[in-house]
Amino acid sequence: MLDKLGQDPDSQVRQAVAGNPFATPEILGTLSLDNDSWVRSAVAGNRSTPVPTLLNLSNDSDLSVLREVVGNPSTPAARAEELFNRLGAKLFESFSWFSIPALLPLNILIELSSSDESKVRAAAAGHRSMPSNSLSQMGADVATEVRERVAGNPSTSVQVLTQLSADPDEEVRAGVAGNPSTPADLLLRLANDGDMRSAIASNPSTPAFLLATLVDEFYESGSDSELLDKVASNRSTPDATLRQIYEMFMPPFVMTNYAAATIFPSLARNSSSPPDLLLTLARSNLLDAVCGVALNRATPEQVVLDLSRDADPKVRAYAAANPYLPFNQLEALSRDTNASVRCQVARNPSTLVSILSTLSDDSDAMVRCEVARNKLIPSHS
């Protein structure tokens, strides 16, 4: 199937095949010669690409291809270092931003952390593989953007996070407040700073009692619906607190329609929402909330099945993306007249290979793209 899709006339389909870790060496070798640089970049970034193919791609004229070659852990270290020494930091410049590959060799990453350009140091400071001792040094950087990225990096030590929690810059302190590695006692201290509460409300490590306190304080003041929305989205929020948020929309405490239109979908998408609340939201008149329930893996199977038969194609598409939708209904939706619905069936990890095989001939290129991206194709074969 990937063999056929690798010859698709649409370059986005070929790019999807090139990025699939189950593409064979032969397919990847052919696609490494593709005229489209995005296709070659996908081959260069694929960890399954053979070393000889990567070495050939290391001579490519396109920087985006070379960036992926350097970031691929299968590339020989000497060749990756040679490319970096020749091209320098510009290798990682992507349009108006600076992007560092997730699996960049450590010696290159550390070298970037001492760049003269603050945007380069900031990108390095946010990298998950940056060693703790390097992050400690970068936590004292003169550039606010660098300290901000250190503050938000889950690999930053508690000692450095504690220091940065007293930083004069609000964005740096907010980085600490939103960092999942920040300990509960430090989050509790930061909660005294009203400007930090929004970040704390989003942090998955925030203790349940603190999330509940934020909601109680909102109930008393009713001033910040954005904060309430973040608590509603947080998977660490206990179901009693999620119910309390929902009840704020009921008489006698009725919030604005704008707030409801934002917060109901957040409750609907939260996998910690209790089944009865999800069922209530599925019956609401807010389309985004209904779609959120359809996609939510915590939604009871019968509810997802009912939503997959909804008259609105957007609801059917969200249900088609739910991995707990029964196989027979995925097959029915693979024949849906709406291409977005068929796309979601194609990307669903539970879709059977027989269905994917049929969709690989779909008239819509985006459907074929999703088939090519589906990483479970070989496991079905």
In 3D, which of 143, 230, 160 has the Cα closest to residue 151? 160
pLDDT of amino acid 380: 37
CA–CA dist 156, 130 (Å, integer): 9
pLDDT of amino acid 223: 61
Dihedral sign computed on CA atoms, order 329, 330, 331, 332: positive
- The number of CA neighbours under 13 Å toward the Cβ of 178 is 20
Please give the C-alpha separations between residue 256 and each of 116, 164, 286, in angstroms, as whole numbers. Answer: 49, 37, 14
Task: Please report the DSSP string for 75-140 in residue order.
Answer: S-HHHHHHHHHHHGGGGGEETTEE---TT--HHHHHHHTT-SSHHHHHHHHT-TTS-HHHHHHHTT
Cα-only R_g, the chain: 24
- Tokens 């090519």 appear where? 372
In 3D, which of 166, 162, 165, 113 has the Cα closest to residue 141? 113
In this structure, what token pair is assigned to residue 287? Answer: 């389309």
Do 57 and 65 meet the contact criterion of CB atoms below 8 Å apart? yes
In this structure, what token pair is assigned to residue 248? Answer: 């704020």
Q: What ranges do the domains of the chain cover?
A: 1-112, 130-206
Do 60 and 40 meet the contact criterion of CB atoms below 8 Å apart? yes
In this structure, what token pair is assigned to residue 187? Answer: 């989050």
Q: In order along the chain (381 residues), what is the average pLDDT of each group of 10 residues?
A: 95 97 96 98 97 98 94 95 90 68 90 92 94 96 97 97 97 98 96 92 96 84 78 96 87 60 94 96 93 97 97 98 96 98 97 95 97 73 44
pLDDT of amino acid 52: 98
CA–CA dist 146, 164 (Å, integer): 12
State residue 20 phi and psi, 5-degree precision: -80, 125
Ramachandran area for residue 88 (φ above 0: left; ψ -120 to 50: alpha; else beta):
left
In this structure, what token pair is assigned to residue 167? Answer: 């930083």
Strand partners, 94: 97
CA–CA dist 109, 117 (Å, integer): 14
In 3D, which of 183, 221, 218 has the Cα closest to residue 203? 183
DSSP letter assigned to residue 194: G
3-state secondary structure of 193: coil
Strand partners, 98: 93
Helix 313-320 / helix 287-295 crossing angle, nearest 10 deg: 20
Do 367 and 342 meet the contact criterion of CB atoms below 8 Å apart? yes
In this structure, what token pair is assigned to residue 352? Answer: 């059977």
pLDDT of amino acid 356: 95
CA–CA dist 199, 178 (Å, integer): 5
Dihedral sign computed on CA atoms, order 278, 282, 283, 289: positive
CA–CA dist 330, 322 (Å, integer): 10
Please give the C-alpha separations between residue 370 and each of 288, 346, 357, 360, in angstroms, as whole numbers. Answer: 23, 5, 12, 9
Do 211 and 235 meet the contact criterion of CB atoms below 8 Å apart? no
